[in-house]
Homo-oligomer: A and B are copies of this chain.
Amino acid sequence: VSLRDEIGEQPDVVRRLLERARGTAAAVASEARARDVPFVLIAARGTSDHAAVYAQYALGVLAGVPVALAAPSVVSRYAAHPDLRRALVIGISQSGRSPDIVSVVAEAESQGCLTLAITNDPASPLAEAASAVLPLDAGPERAVAATKTYTAELVAVALLAAALADGPIGTEAREALDRVPAALALALETEQAARDAVAVLGDADECVVLGRGYHLATALEWALKLQELAQVRAHPWSTADFRHGPVASLPEGGTVLAVRAAGPLAGDVTELLESLRRERGARVLLLDDPSAGIPEPGVTRIPVPGGLPEWLSPIPAIVPAQLLCLHLTIARGLDPDAPRGLSKVTLTR
């Protein structure tokens, strides 16, 4: 099994997860409603943390639930006992084995709070620690760089957001989820466009990766894959945060990757890209919804098909990003299945 195979498995993984996990998501949402939880706290690292960032938007916008991303060392290293009794506490981890993530969920569980593990290993310490488990059922992920477990984590979060959303918004959200596997299958067809787009990076060994709103998660995950696989120093930013300082360090002719969906933030991304092209001569590669705006001259685009609502668009959008990283890695003579200095399970305390 290779990274490329696992990228290709994503439609099936998500189809299976949608069939199996709806019940768990509904049960957790129902218990959260019964307890009237005022907020959700999520502990996660690396790729799983990007699914947590997605949850800030999906749960916040669809279900009106504020989401806190845990600083795990508050519990794991400073041995503090933050009052989590009223929260829904979620740990997200492919392996379910990182001690700092387990410690946050175990602390919450010891306070009697509602806890959920989202993991690919239902026998892991994380799953053991939590009162509810949503198994990703993605099959073994052998490549060091996570791909299919990331999309599965996004879908798990989306299922929970849809289950927590009230009224017609919830009904519509649950229906839209059924269209995700087909959108993923279409996204796999961007492979040739992604391979061609490798040329935009040339021999650049660094770049910035911009997104906002729902696609902040995509920018973070795209940058991480570039770092892990292709050894590109990719700096991810929300377009809003980028304007608050980091923009000053973009070199003339620097490489800018960006992702944009049709929605209230499309204009924000477009504006920033235009000014970076005009004022800094940036080389721009844009992943976007074909309906998000007119193509700018000089911008290489990879269209992300799918026709999904904005809140679900990060699920197919990561696929061309994964494919680009795969082909960039191969083009640079590196092995996508054996990234330098990394192992599959990272045990941080």
Interface residues of A, Cβ cutoff 8 Å to B = 38-39, 41, 45-47, 49, 53, 56-57, 60-62, 64-74, 77-87, 100, 145, 205-206, 212-213, 216, 224, 226-229, 231-235, 240-241, 243-249, 251, 264-265, 268, 279, 339-342, 346, 348-349
Q: List 21 A-B contacts (CB under 8 A).
A: A38-B86, A39-B39, A46-B245, A47-B244, A49-B241, A60-B74, A64-B82, A65-B83, A68-B68, A68-B69, A71-B216, A77-B213, A145-B245, A206-B206, A224-B245, A227-B246, A231-B248, A231-B249, A233-B233, A235-B235, A243-B346
Residues of B within 8 A of A38 (CB): 38-39, 83, 85-87
Are A100 and B240 in contact, CB atoms less than 8 angstroms apart? yes
Whole-angstrom CA separation of A100 from B239 in the bound complex: 13
Are A56 and B71 in contact, CB atoms less than 8 angstroms apart? yes
A278 vs chain B, min Cβ distance (A): 12
Are A74 and B87 in contact, CB atoms less than 8 angstroms apart? no
Beyond A45-B241, A234-B249, whether A61 also contacts B87 by CB under 8 A is no
Residues of B within 8 A of A65 (CB): 82-83
Whole-angstrom CA separation of A197 from B261 in the bound complex: 44
Residues of B within 8 A of A245 (CB): 46-47, 145, 224, 227-228, 342
Residues of B within 8 A of A84 (CB): 66
Beyond A87-B39, A244-B348, whether A264 also contacts B78 by CB under 8 A is yes
Whole-angstrom CA separation of A71 from B53 in the bound complex: 9
CB-CB nearest in chain B for A246: B227
Whole-angstrom CA separation of A56 from B68 in the bound complex: 10
A211 vs chain B, min Cβ distance (A): 11
Residues of B within 8 A of A224 (CB): 245-246
A62 vs chain B, min Cβ distance (A): 8
Beyond A45-B241, A240-B45, whether A342 also contacts B87 by CB under 8 A is no
Residues of B within 8 A of A251 (CB): 205, 231, 233
A85 vs chain B, min Cβ distance (A): 8
Residues of B within 8 A of A349 (CB): 268
Are A61 and B39 in contact, CB atoms less than 8 angstroms apart? no
- 4 new A-B contacts, CB < 8 A, other than A64-B82, A66-B68, are A49-B241, A57-B73, A71-B216, A248-B339
Residues of B within 8 A of A232 (CB): 249
Residues of B within 8 A of A205 (CB): 251
Whole-angstrom CA separation of A84 from B86 in the bound complex: 14
With beta carbons under 8 angstroms apart, the residue of B45, B77, B249, B341 that contacts A265 is B77
Are B341 and A247 in contact, CB atoms less than 8 angstroms apart? yes
Residues of B within 8 A of A100 (CB): 240
Are A57 and B78 in contact, CB atoms less than 8 angstroms apart? yes
Residues of B within 8 A of A77 (CB): 213, 264-265, 268
Are B71 and A57 in contact, CB atoms less than 8 angstroms apart? yes
A171 vs chain B, min Cβ distance (A): 18
Are A73 and B213 in contact, CB atoms less than 8 angstroms apart? yes
Whole-angstrom CA separation of A195 from B216 in the bound complex: 37
Residues of B within 8 A of A235 (CB): 233, 235
With beta carbons under 8 angstroms apart, the residue of B61, B68, B244, B246 that contacts A67 is B68
With beta carbons under 8 angstroms apart, the residue of B87, B227, B240 that contacts A73 is B240
